[in-house]
Amino acid sequence: MIELQPSEQGLDDYPFLVAQLQALLAGERDFIANAAQFSAFLFQQIGDLNWAGFYLVRGEELVLGPFQGNVACVRIPFGRGVCGVAAASGNTQRVDDVHAFAGHIACDSASNSELVVPLFKGERLFAVLDLDSPSLARFSAADQAGIERLAEVFVELTDC
Ligand code: SME
Residues lining ligand 1, Cβ inside 6 A: 51, 72-73, 76, 81-84, 104-105, 107, 111, 114, 130, 132
Q: How many domains does the chain have?
A: 1
What region, left, alpha or beta, does residue 16 occupy, with left being phi > 0 and alpha being psi -120 to 50 degrees?
A: alpha
The pLDDT, as a whole number, for residue 10 is 65
In angstroms, the CA 157 to CA 30 distance is: 9
Residue 2 inside a domain? The answer is no
> For residues 73 and 105, is the Cβ–Cβ distance under 8 A?
yes
- Helix, strand, or coil (residue 142): helix
Residue 97 inside a domain? The answer is yes
Residue 24 exposed, middle or buried by CB count within 10 Å (0-12, 13-18, 19+): buried
Q: For ligand 1, atom 7, name the residue with the nearest CA.
A: 72
Q: For ligand 1, atom 2, name the residue with the nearest CA.
A: 105
The pLDDT, as a whole number, for residue 108 is 82
Q: pTM (2 decimals)?
A: 0.95
Residue 35 inside a domain? The answer is yes
The pLDDT, as a whole number, for residue 159 is 97
Residue 132 inside a domain? The answer is yes
The pLDDT, as a whole number, for residue 114 is 97
Residue 141 inside a domain? The answer is yes
Residue 6 inside a domain? The answer is no
* Mean pLDDT, residues 111-136: 97
Residue 3 inside a domain? The answer is no
Beta-strand runs (E) in 45-123: 51-58, 61-69, 75-77, 93-95, 113-121
Q: To the nearest whole number, what is the mean pLDDT of the chain? A: 94
Measuring CA to CA, which residue among 43, 42, 39 is closest to residue 67? 39
Express as a percent the part of the chain with pLDDT over 70.
98
Provide the residue range defining the domain that includes 143: 11-156
DSSP assignment of 17-53: HHHHHHHHHTT---HHHHHHHHHHHHHHHSSS-SEEE
* Mean pLDDT, residues 97-117: 91
In angstroms, the CA 75 to CA 68 distance is: 17
The amino acid present at 143, given as its one-letter code, is D
CATH number of the domain bearing residue 100: 3.30.450.40
Residue 65 inside a domain? The answer is yes
